[in-house]
Structure 1
Amino acid sequence: MTHEHPSLTTEHVFLTGGTGFVGQAILERLLTSHPKTRITVLVRGKGSQTPQERLTGMLRKPVFKGWREQLGDDQARAEFARRVTAHEGSLGDVGTLPTDIDVVLHSASTVSFDPPIDEAFETNVGGARGLYGALLESGSDPHVVHVSTAYVGGIRKGVAPEGSLTHEVDWRAEHDAALSARVRVELESRQPEALRQHLHAAKAQHGKAGPQQVARLAETARTEWVRERLVDYGRTRAESLGWTDVYTLTKAFAERAAEEMWAQAGHRLTVLRPSIIESALHHPFPGWIDGFKVADPLIIAYGRGQLKEFPGLPDSVLDIIPVDFVVNAALAAASRPSPAGEPQYLQVVSGASNPLPFHRMYENVNAYFTANPLPDEKGDIAVPLWRFPGGEKVERVLARRERQIGHAERVVERLPATPRTRQWLETVGKNKRGLGRLRVFAELYRAYVQTEIVFDDTNTRALLASMPEDERKDQGFDVTEIDWEHYFQGIHLPAITALTRAFGKRPPARERAERALPSREDVVAVFDLEGTVLGANLVQQYLRLWTRTVPRARVVHDLADLVLSSRRYWRAERRDRGEFIRTFMRRYEGFSVDEIEREVQGRFGRAMLRAALPDALERVQQHRAAGHRTILVTGTIDLMVEPFVPYFDEVVAGRMHVRDGVLTGYLADPPLVDEARAAWLRQYAAQHDLDLDASYGYGDSHADLVWLEMLGTPTAVNPDVQLSRYARQKKWAVLDWTRRARPSAPSAGSDDQQVTLAEGV
């Protein structure tokens, strides 16, 4: 040590992970408490922002608020520009480092416990290799504070010492194997058997949306399979080597890289192992946190009533540490290096000196959300009582409920699409998501809520004791001062629930869909007909027209044929909307065009208008009042949609082949459905200079999915089961439009109203 009470003074500090949670807090503390230091931050550009612009933009973050207010905005910006420099690069490509670095604070790592194996190794292990390789090449001889994790020792029981890990795994070989895993899995995913499986599943679920949509979703399923496979690779390889997950495995290997590449080369190294890092106790202000951290998703899920039980051990120690304690320990360690080649290990933890049993954590969370319940659309959420029945019992109950939910989902999917069916489906989906959430949390948090490890903190307490008393008060990390009830109920839980409310400010999709429409002339509102504007499908339309035109001698024959053909039509509709239209329209063979036109002008037309959904017609009028171009697009033939011409700026319909004034039963053009409608809409928008990202779409069928996705505001109206599920996943508005008193029809005298035939599509 260079003096009795060492502290950072004029050092040049190199910081990695500076835009992350811990990195931001380190940077702020250097600025506020070590005013003569210079800081270089490893940072990439982002979008159009240069690395320096991105770094300067961080000044707007809450962590720097106190410092900005103390100096004033102008002086703070000037001081930041003078003291903080961006070094363009990443952990994978650090670049050429300055030659005068005194201290390195390496806090960058992956933020996920369960990433794909190649991503975890590339960031944590490859990042360490890249950093230490660049430091060796630079000629600098800094003291490196390598931020790791207390859980780096793997699956074990008892006391975890502050020392080098004892494993003998070849971390370089593991790194190489992990990086090659993606190539192997990608090849596996492209085998014909795997591709056929994805195609079959996509066609079964999304066939009505069109072949390109099927192909796209099959490829999405393949890439998701690749990711899940690589996640499983990481999880399984970690467990096979004795670690809880790939995160702790790669952090262990990163430590070994630091020891072998830096400490054994004769340089100074401190390995800092914090436990679960959460919001600040004191600095920069109580409750400061940058997004949800390790324990917070579990806490919020509980507060939302989504976790009825959890497989944790009530007497296990949940080791939590406030972020300011980690920062203070890191900077104290940075100024007090051990001799070169003799790395020191510090575990910044609470479990040994101020243990927090899991049941005490639960009691605090339960008490807080009982007194301060989170709201939902039905009122305040009542949180569940956990009885800690044990992991095996929770697993059995979870598996049984998963089977029950799967069976219920299959049953509901086969029912006709009605508001009640959609509500059942939403309930089933909500329960399924809840079970999935519990499954994920149980797997991710198992090592942290069932642990029997106690982390030794002897070296860390000795470091604290070496600090002068005045420095300990402001920059200390004495975990015995933490009152867990005060910390959770007065600081941490209010902080993360405030984040929840901030994230929840966006109004629900239904409310957004029903807001007043902005006035614009470059947008279009596209409406499907059957099920969206008209409460009658193709079969019902046919029957209404058929009853007015069929000769009595054919009544029995035609009815019998319709009944016998119903299953064929149903199958065609499930496979492909266009196939159904082609098949069903054959029934119009022999219908007279003149007779159809007379009926459309008379009773049939009036019946069609009576079947119109007033909510739809009102919405059309709202769009027209806002200056939007309104279009009705339908697979129904043009002869039968004349009653709706007055409501829309344009009606786009199909045609049937006519011979000698009689319908032949064949379509004159391919049906304008699914991908054909999307292609037509894309061309139409280009011709009329329309902004599809600002436009609106209303459809009821899974076949409408492709063209709805092209529009900025898609809305599912009276949707079938598949579209309802997809819409809720994508947070689209889902509306139920029903029959009631019909609004008066608009004037039909506008010059720009027309029927456009779907020719050449």
Structure 2
Amino acid sequence: MSTASVPYKSYSRSLTSTHAIPYGTSIPVLTTTKSYHCYHHYNSTRTSATGRTFRVVCCENKENAGGDSIGIVSYLQGKNYLITGATGFLAKAFIEKMLRTVPDVGKIFLLIKAKNKEAAIHRLKTEILELELFKCLEQMHGKSFKSFMMRKLVPVAGNVCEPNLGMDPYTANEIAKEVDVIINSAANTTLDERYDVALNTNTRGPSRLLGFAKKCKKLSLFLHVSTAYVNGERQGLIMEKPFHMGQTIAEESATSKTPPESIPVLDIIAEIELASDLKLSVHENVVAQKMIELGLQRAKIFGWQNTYVFTKAMGEMLLNSMRGDIPVVIIRPSVIESSIKEPLPGWIQGIKTADPLILSYGKGQLPGFLGDPKAVIDVVPLDMVVNASIAAIAKHGIAAKPELNVYHVGSSAVNPLSIHDLFKFSCNHFTCSPLMNSERTNIRINEMKFFNSMDNFASYISDEIAQRSGLMDTTITDSKLRGKLEIKRKKIVENFVHLAKIYEPYMFYRGRFDNHNTQKLMEGMSLEEMRDFGFNVGSINWEDYILNVHIPGSPYLNRVLGILAFVFIVPLEYCPEKTMKSVIRALSFSK
């Protein structure tokens, strides 16, 4: 692999490394000698964290391309699409890619949560068309940009949580006559969401949408965006297999010595009724917290880490049981982070799963954390998820076979990024390009410390906060001041412990997501398709991506740091609920 693009050290880690594979599992990996910087149709200069300017050009390695052709562009042309979750991170990138590479697609109906069509149009204009993400398209079309976009994009007021998707009967009927492909990107991605809320969106939402799909006369494909972490507490090499109704991770983990009566039986209807009964039986003042607790409890009973992945898995089960003769594709991306190539490197919306840790570490607020440095964090750039989804749509839309196909879009099996390397690369970035504190002086950070137990981490962070707050200062004799500092310390420690609990399942994760189906999909692409719709995760140089693309690429850096500083430094009682929720929501697999 070429290492010229990595400014901080001599990069020698092979992409064929299989270190930290659980239990000695042998995993076939993709070998590559491909140089990294490969920004599709993007030719400009970027400045690295060290101030070095380098050229960014298209440099796709065509030797790794596969078969003749899927026929992606020809399939997409003229087709009409319905996209749910249209104002989300992934859907926006999907829309941009489609319109930029295949401008002669038909209509793209966007299901937008809004009270009426006017409100949906307003959200389309303010939350989609005005984004930096669409600047490339705007440059392509010039003055006709807005008219082009409004001609292609049809905002529809609706909600997957409501009967008939919240659409009025006339609109629903018209869409059912025209749509060729349905793309379900709607989800509630908060890891510890209320159980009833998560069930309604992540479990019942897909089934409602599939019910509508059966009314669509021209439909050739139903694509559902899930998450690789629906695999719950599975370990080792995890295959791309669909879930069947009632299937649980707990049952898979049972041994011959496990008493049959101790294996929990999953009944999705019963789970929905359980949440409904709880809502009716407790006071409204405590129902939210009780629902959160119930979701986490039920998830762990059946072998999932949290409410989000559990309810997404049940959504997959319903799709498989209800699909009938509709061709269904399930895309399971891992942790989606900023784009690596297009339409511009480093584009991201909001704060995603890894960012709160990276940014608070760079700010000097998180010198240590709970986790196994040898564990692998499965990260995938946004544009690769989009490209893999588009390729799958074309392949199975053309085949039109009444089957269900699953694709893992992740890096852990072919190009693993360890948690240690994630923070080492982040440390390199913040060392060369340090953030500043409130006194406008550079913040110096040390190598991240890792703790293998919650008790050890809580003790460490408690001592750190005590030192920073002044509690260790023996010259402070005012008992009231020391009392206030102690209260503040406890609140901050509570926040960090809560953060650690949310991340804990993923900081010790022992699974790797096999991507054999995704590799086969890529092998069927032509050279031109590989150039325009490539998603070779094995080609990613993680050090370069983190140092020169992901961290410096986010325009939200200062805003995120401000939120994190506020939550972890200001006592909890002064932290508005909305601000706290924005951080917790960031600790999710946002789409």
Pairwise same-fold verdict (TM > 0.5): yes
Distance across 1 between alignment mates of 2:509 and 2:552: 27
Alignment match of 1:255 (pick from 300, 313, 316)? 316
* Alignment match, 1:120: 198
**Cα offsets for 1:68-122 (capped at 9, x unmatched):** 12211x3110111111101221012313242221111111101211111111111
Question: Quick one: which of 242, 260, 281 aligns to 1:184?
Answer: 281
CA distance in 2: counterparts of 1:343 and 1:302, whole angstroms: 42
| Distance in 2, Cα, partners of 1:422 & 1:288 | 48
Match of 2:420 among 343, 351, 359: 359
* 1:25 match: 93
Structure 2 equivalent of residue 242 of structure 1: 303
Unaligned runs of 5+ in 1: 190-222, 410-417, 510-723, 732-761
Query: Which range is displaced more, 40-49 or 329-338?
Result: 40-49
Cα distance change, pair 502–9 in 1 and its aligned pair in 2 (3 A): same
Per-residue Cα deviation, 1:478-510 (whole angstroms, up to 9, x for no partner): 0111110110000111134x413246789x99x
Deviations 1:680-718 (A, max 9, x none): xxxxxxxxxxxxxxxxxxxxxxxxxxxxxxxxxxxxxxx
User: Does the residue aligned with 2:401 lie in a helix, a strand or coil?
Assistant: coil
Alignment correspondent of 1:5: 71
Q: CA deviation at 1:49?
A: 5.0
Q: 1:27 to 1:726 in 2, by over 3 A?
A: closer
User: Equivalent of 2:498, from 413, 422, 440?
Assistant: 440
Shift of 1:62: 1.2
Write the letter of the residue equivalent to 1:327: V
Could you tell me how far apart the structure 1 residues matched to 2:419 and 2:357 are? 13
Is 1:375 paired with 2:436? yes
For 2:530, which of 472, 482, 490 is the aligned residue?
Answer: 472
| Cα distance in 2 for residues equivalent to 1:453 and 1:387 | 23
Superposition pairs for residues 285-324 of structure 1, below 5 Å?
285-324=344-383
Q: Matched residues in 1 for 2:153 and 2:525: separation?
A: 27
Aligned-pair CA distance for 1:400: 7.3
User: What one-letter code is carried by the residue in structure 1 that aligns with 2:496?
Assistant: L
Q: Tell me the distance in 1 between the aligned counterparts of 2:230 and 2:336.
A: 14
Are residues 78 and 400 of structure 1, via their aligned partners in 2, closer, same or farther at CA, if it must alter by over 3 Å? closer
Q: C-alpha offsets along residues 580-635 of structure 1, whole Å, 9 cap, x if unaligned?
A: xxxxxxxxxxxxxxxxxxxxxxxxxxxxxxxxxxxxxxxxxxxxxxxxxxxxxxxx
| Count, aligned residues | 466
> Which residue is 2:150 aligned to?
81
TM-score for the superposition, normalised by structure 1: 0.57
Residue 453 of structure 2 corresponds to which residue in structure 1? 391
Q: 1:310, 1:394 within 8 Å by CA — same for their partners in 2?
A: no
Matched, 1:490 2:559: no
Shift of the 50–313 alpha-carbon distance from structure 1 to 2, 3 Å rule, reads same
CA distance in 1, matches of 2:487, 2:103: 54
Alpha carbons of 1:294 and 1:503: their partners in 2 closer, same or farther (altered >3 Å)? closer
> Within 1, Cα distance between the matches of 2:460 and 2:277?
35
Cα pair 1:118 1:181 within 8 Å, conserved: no
2:262 is matched with which residue?
none
In the other structure, the counterpart of 1:14 is 82
Aligned twin of 1:644: none
> 2:132 maps to which residue?
62
The whole-number CA distance in structure 2 between the counterparts of 1:321 and 1:29 is 17
> Conserved in 2, the CA contact under 8 Å of 1:46 and 1:54?
no
Q: For 1:163 and 1:726, locate their aligned partners in 2 and report how far apart those are by CA, in whole Å.
A: 43
Find out whether 1:53 has 2:115 as its counterpart: no
Amino acid at match of 1:175: I
Whole-angstrom distance in 1 between the partners of 2:412 and 2:507 = 13
Q: Distance in 2 between matches of 1:229 and 1:470?
A: 53
Deviations 1:331-371 (A, max 9, x none): 11111115533211100011111111111111111222222
Query: Contact (CA 8 Å) 1:352, 1:454: kept in 2 or not?
Result: yes
- Taking a change above 3 Å as real, the CA distance of residues 47 and 312 of structure 1, as seen in their structure-2 partners, is farther
- Is the CA contact (8 Å cut-off) linking 1:307 and 1:434 kept in structure 2? no
Aligned equivalents of 1:448, 1:368: Cα separation in 2: 23
Contact 1:12–1:103 (8 Å) recurs in 2: yes
- Kept in 2, the 8 Å contact 1:153–1:165? The answer is no
Partner of 1:736: none
Residue 141 of structure 1, CA deviation: 2.7
Whichever residue aligns with residue 383 of structure 1, its letter is I
Cα 1:309/1:258, change in 2 over 3 Å: same
CA gap 1:341/1:445 in 2 versus in 1, 3 angstroms: same
- How far off its partner does 1:473 sit? 1.6
Task: Tell me by how many angstroms 1:315 deviates.
Answer: 1.1
Alpha-carbon separation, structure 1, partners of 2:571 and 2:516: 55
**Alignment partner of 1:451: what SS?**
coil
Amino acid at match of 2:363: R
Structure 2: gaps spanning 5 or more residues: 1-67, 249-265, 578-591
**How far did residue 124 of structure 1 move?**
0.7
How many Å apart are 1:725 and its aligned residue? 6.5
Query: Which of 216, 223, 227 matches 1:149?
Result: 227
SS of 1:376's partner is: coil
Distance 1:34 1:51 in 2: 24
Q: Distance in 2 between matches of 1:35 and 1:453?
A: 40
1:444-489 CA-to-partner distances (Å, cap 9, x unmatched) read 1122221110110010011111111122122110011111011000
Q: How many Å separate the matches in 1 of 2:268 and 2:134? A: 38
In structure 2, relative to structure 1, the CA distance for the partners of 1:63 and 1:403 (3 Å cut) is closer
Aligned position for 1:110: 188
CA distance in 2, matches of 1:343, 1:48: 34
**Equivalent in 14, 29, 35 of residue 103 of structure 2:** 35
2:516 maps to a residue whose letter is T
Aligned equivalent of 1:229: 290
| Separation of aligned partners in 2, 1:725 and 1:315 | 34
1:146 aligned partner, one-letter code: H
Question: Compared with structure 1, are the counterparts of its residues 30 and 420 closer, same or farther at alpha carbon in structure 2 (3 Å cutoff)?
Answer: farther
* Cα separation, partners in 2 of 1:427 and 1:139, compared to 1, 3 Å: farther
Which residue pairs with 1:269 in the alignment? 328
* Letter aligned with residue 97 of structure 2: R
1:416-427 mapped onto 2 (5 Å cutoff): 424=482, 427=485
CA gap 1:122/1:350 in 2 versus in 1, 3 angstroms: same
> Which deviates further from its counterpart, 148-157 or 432-441?
432-441
Q: Report the Cα distance in structure 2 between the residues aligned to 1:246 and 1:279, rounded to whole angstroms.
A: 25
Identity %: 29
Cα gap change, 1:283 to 1:180, in 2 (>3 Å) = farther
The whole-number CA distance in structure 1 between the counterparts of 2:522 and 2:84 is 24
Shift of 1:230: 1.7
8 Å Cα contact 2:69/2:525 also seen in 1: no
Letter in 2 for 1:457: N
Counterparts of residues 198-213 of structure 1 (less than 5 Å): none
Aligned to 2:48: none
Residues 312/81 of structure 1: CA separation in 2 closer, same or farther (3 Å cut):
same
Give the deviation of 1:35 after TM superposition: 1.1
Between 334-343 and 289-298, report the one with greater CA deviation: 334-343
- Flag the 1:459–1:353 CA change in 2: closer, same or farther, 3 A: same
Give the counterpart letter for 1:59 in structure 2: L
**CA distance in structure 2 between the aligned counterparts of 1:122 and 1:172, rounded to whole angstroms:** 12
Letter in 2 for 1:178: A
Choose between structure 1 and 2: higher helix proportion: 1
Q: Please, what is the CA RMSD of the aligned residues?
A: 3.2
Letter in 2 for 1:152: V
Q: Does the CA contact (< 8 Å) of 2:466 and 2:489 recur in 1?
A: no
Output the CA distance in 1 between the equivalents of 2:389 and 2:532: 14
Residues 392 and 351 of structure 1: CA distance in aligned 2, closer, same or farther (over 3 Å): same
Name the residue aligned to 2:7. Answer: none
